[in-house]
Chains A and B, each alone.
Chain A
Amino acid sequence: MMFKKILIAASVAAVLGAVPARGDVTLLNVSYDPTRELYQEFNAAFAKHWAEKSKEKVEIRQSHGGSGKQARSVIDGLEADVVTLALANDINAIAERAKLLPIDWQKRLPHNSTPYTSTIVFLVRKGNPKRIGDWADLARTGVSVITPNPKTSGGAQWNYLAAWEYGKRRYGDEAKTKDFVARLYRNVPVLDSGARGSTTTFVERGVGDVFISWENEAFLAIKELGPGKFEIVVPSLSILAEPPVAVVDKVASKKGTRKVAEAYLQYLYSEEGQEIAARNFYRPTDPKVAAKYASQFPVINLFTIDEAFGGWKNAHKAHFADGGTFDQIYQK
């Protein structure tokens, strides 16, 4: 019997004394198309910060695609710990349809959960051969315009709304505005599903005369993809794009990653996070960092989605929902 007791005691001791190796924490950040470079740099910085702060190793995986498409993937079960999408409306859809986070998610972080902003500019070929100067030029006959599909791309929705507001202010009534936007989209030969695809179309495949682009994507194209080949044209009016971020509560709670996921997003507001955003051509919200990088960003007459359209829900319903103005003007 002594033998048995020793065996049993040894087994229990071995089991209870098993040293659980401290597991790595893995986060999945589901983001939109042009943020690849931003989050590559930011993830490395946060992993270092988190290791120093909590002695825990964190690995952040990234997923990129058109913002609307990414939101649908999360709704369909892609287990994102955090989402950093192009539109608040895409995160609203995750909250409303999949109920993975509360409806008032945007109140949880500063600046309506928008750690950085951007805007929409034009990227043209060197020398601006088609003499593109403003939105009106994009609707001219013979100008080929590259922009992604507003049905799948958040960036494309910002583009569309910027063009619409320009048309409204220039032409006055809705019918003329609609006609202007329709003429512009008749000049679009290729509708990619996301902004990065459109960058490929314009920059790498040489299609089109002008690319309606995120400001950061335009700067990046000039810096990395085609130095000396492209120019940025700043329109007379553009939209203040506010890409928001949020923890996907139910996924983070289930995976036990909530604490690190929250810290990850909060770190976007830190000085280092803001510096990284600015270095990747996103406009920082921190006044100190914004002042430091002010010369990098052109001064543009900007309007907000709330001012012009009464918020994302209204804008989406009027323009991008099935049967909205985009469906009416764009017949492929």
Chain B
Amino acid sequence: MKAFRLWTRASVLAASVIVVMPYAQAQEDVTQLKQQVEELDQKIRVIQRLQEIDKEAAATKAKETPSLIFGNSGIGLRSGDGANELRLRGLLQADSRWYGDSQVGSTADTFLLRRVRPTFEGKFAKIYGFRITPDFAGSATSVVDAYVDGNFTDPFKVRVGRFKPPFGLERLQSGANLSFNERAFPTNLAPNRDNGVQIFGDLFAGTTEYQVGVFNGAIDNTVAITDNNNGKDIVARLFAHPFKNSDLDSLKGLGIGVAYGNGTQRGSSAAGNSSLPTFVTPGQQTFASYATGAFANGDRERISPQFYYYVGAFGVLGEYVVSKQDVALGAATQEVENDAWQVLLSWVVSGGDASFRGVTPKNSFDWAAGTWGAVEVVARYSELNIDDQAFTAGLLSLTSSASKAKDTGVGVNWYLNRNVKLQLNYDETTFEGGAAAGADRIDEKVLFTRVQLAY
């Protein structure tokens, strides 16, 4: 009996061992497998996270890597942080002028390159900028603009070199953004380019721009390369956009201001040193010039109230310029006061909004897509009056110089895209005097065309 019990217990123990041992082993295996899976899962997560961090680092590095600029505003290079930039831009205008039966003297219908101007510009350390623009359109290459800017703060910037003095409104408008092929009469009385130094900036939260500069002193409508006297011109301009930050959307595009210039200009009676301007028509024909022997001999003063207003497709630009200059002929010196004004209307018939900086078409001309770019019609009236006393004093002769010129112009501009523009203008100018025996010079009627590429 005892042996039987022992045998039974031994059998149960053996059976238990046989059953439990594999179960415990299996449990241990499962736990180990679970641990391995968790470890593998962690390794995968770590690898994935490291990849994410690498991607973030690569994205950050990409922001710091210089980038290539290639777009509507030229081509160039920009540092990753945007602080340094070099850019090449260009302006090409291929024109034609057709005078019809209004040809005077050597005037001839012509095709011409009006502007061929590559521009190199850039900035360094965010603050310092430069621009160099030569022009290859004339018989000789010239440097149109060459200046260095220090853009220290919005209200205080400095420009040194050759550039447009802050005076004529239409003169300050870029040549690529003109509504007509040629600027109106007020530009005849404003300086073109000059060498000097200018302080400028924006005040009152960007609602008012100002410029004050000292320049060699350019003769009306000319470029001053060097000065022939010690008298320097001071030119200042204040131009406000009073509603720019207001809620009056319809008035945000209003700009109004005044420019003033004062200096000394002296020439001599020697041929080619008169330091006096000539006056040209929209067709770029001289219709008035000072008598041989007359020369600038003292103070020059200019003033120009000016404004523009752009709302939606509609725009109007107006300016008035008075230019006074002491002029000598023989022993007598006479103050000559000439003035000019213009009103220019523009209406973008389709595809864009009007602005002082030109029209940006909402879409590009694409025959297949049925999009047509932007079309603008323009009209202007402009006058230039030469001081009657200058004729009385013999500084000009009514037989060769008109005392007054009135221009009426109309045109249509087709912006094929942001870079290509086609222009068709017609200008008709009438004169008082300027022909034999003081008769009126023959009216000038000119049809202009232009193909423009600007980038």
B295 at the interface (CB under 8 A from A): no
A207-B49 contact, Cβ under 8 Å, with A20-B203, A144-B42, A254-B153: yes
A205 touches B83 (CB 8 A): no
**Shortest Cβ distance from residue B199 to the other chain A in the assembled complex, whole angstroms:** 17
Of all chain B residues, the one with the shortest Cβ separation from A192 is: B53
Secondary structure of the B contact surface, majority rule? mixed
**CB proximity to A under 8 Å, residues B69-116:** 81, 83
Mask of B165-205 contacts with A, CB within 8 angstroms, 1/0: 00000000000000000000000000000000000000111
Interface status of A201 (Cβ within 8 A of chain B): yes
Is B245 on the interface with A (CB-CB < 8 A)?
A: yes
Distance in angstroms between the alpha carbons of A202 and B366 in the assembled complex? 54
> Which residue of B203, B207, B256 contacts A11 across the interface (Cβ within 8 Å)?
B256
CA distance in complex: A112, B354 (Å): 57
Q: Does A21 contact B (CB under 8 A)?
A: yes
On chain B, the number of residues with a Cβ less than 8 Å from chain A's Cβ atoms is 38
- Among the listed stretches B19-27, B236-244, B262-270, B415-423, which one makes contact with chain A, having 4 or more residues with CB under 8 Å of it? B236-244
Q: Is B9 an interface residue (CB 8 A)?
A: no
Within 8 A of A (CB), among B27-80: 42, 45-46, 48-50, 52-53, 56-57
Residues of A180-197 at the interface with B, using a CB-CB cut-off of 8 Å, are 189-190, 192-193, 197
A299 an interface residue at 8 Å Cβ cutoff?
A: no
Contact yes or no, B240 A21, CB < 8 A: no
With A4-B320, A15-B257 as known contacts, state yes or no: A20 contacts B303, CB within 8 Å: no
B234: CB under 8 A from chain A? Answer: no
B16 interface residue (CB < 8 Å to A): no
Query: Which chain A residue lies CB-closest to B52?
Result: A205
Most buried by B among A8, A14, A193, A201: A14
CB–CB A205/B256 < 8 A:
no
The number of A-B residue pairs with CB atoms under 8 Å apart is: 83
In-complex Cβ contact of B305 among A7, A17, A190 (8 A): A7
Contacts of B305 in A (CB 8 A): 7-8, 10-11
Interface presence of A77 (CB below 8 A): yes
Partner of B46, one of A10, A77, A189, A255: A189
Contact B322 A4 (CB under 8 A): yes
Q: Are A190 and B207 in contact (CB under 8 A)?
A: no
Say yes or no for A12: interface residue by CB 8 A criterion. Answer: yes
A207 CB contacts on chain B under 8 angstroms: 42, 45-46, 49
Contact present for A18 and B46 (CB under 8 Å):
no
CA distance A201 to B241 in the complex (A): 52
Residue of B57, B206, B241, B305 with most partner-chain A CB within 10 A: B305
**Across-interface contacts of B257 in A (CB, < 8 A):** 11, 14-15
> Does A127 interact with chain B (Cβ within 8 Å)?
no
| B53 and A15 form a contact (CB under 8 A) | no
* Interface residue A23 (Cβ < 8 Å from any Cβ of B): yes
Judge whether B246 is part of the interface by a CB distance below 8 angstroms: yes
- In chain A, positions 254-303 with a C-beta closer than 8 Å to chain B are 254-255
B45 adjacent to A206 (CB under 8 Å): yes
CB of A205 within 8 A of CB of B49, answer: yes
Could you say which interface size class chain A belongs to? 20 to 34
A24 (CB) vs chain B CBs: closest residue: B205
* Chain A nearest CB, measured from B344 CB (Å): 17
A197 to B56, CA, bound (A): 11
Please, how many angstroms separate the alpha-carbon atoms of A144 and B46 in the complex?
10
Residue of B nearest to A69 (CB): B60
Report which of B50, B56, B83, B242 forms a contact with A14, defined as CB distance below 8 A: B242
Residue of A nearest to B254 (CB): A14
CB-nearest residue of chain B to A205: B49
Chain A residue numbers with a CB within 8 Å of B153 are 254-255
A21 touching B46, Cβ below 8 Å: no
A-B contact pairs, 30 of them (CB 8 A): A4-B339, A7-B320, A8-B303, A8-B305, A12-B258, A14-B240, A15-B208, A15-B240, A15-B257, A15-B258, A18-B208, A18-B242, A19-B242, A19-B246, A20-B205, A21-B204, A21-B244, A21-B245, A22-B205, A23-B245, A77-B81, A77-B126, A144-B42, A190-B53, A192-B53, A193-B57, A197-B53, A205-B45, A205-B49, A206-B45
Binding site for A on B (CB under 8 A): 42, 45-46, 48-50, 52-53, 56-57, 81, 83, 126, 153, 203-208, 238-242, 244-246, 256-258, 303, 305-307, 320, 322, 339
Q: Which 4 A-B pairs have the closest CB atoms?
A: A20-B204, A21-B245, A23-B205, A18-B240
Q: List residues of chain A with CB under 8 Å of any chain B CB.
A: 4, 7-8, 10-12, 14-15, 17-23, 76-77, 144, 189-190, 192-193, 197, 201, 205-208, 254-255
A-B contact sample (5 more), CB < 8 A, given A4-B322, A8-B258, A14-B240 = A4-B320, A11-B258, A20-B204, A23-B206, A144-B42
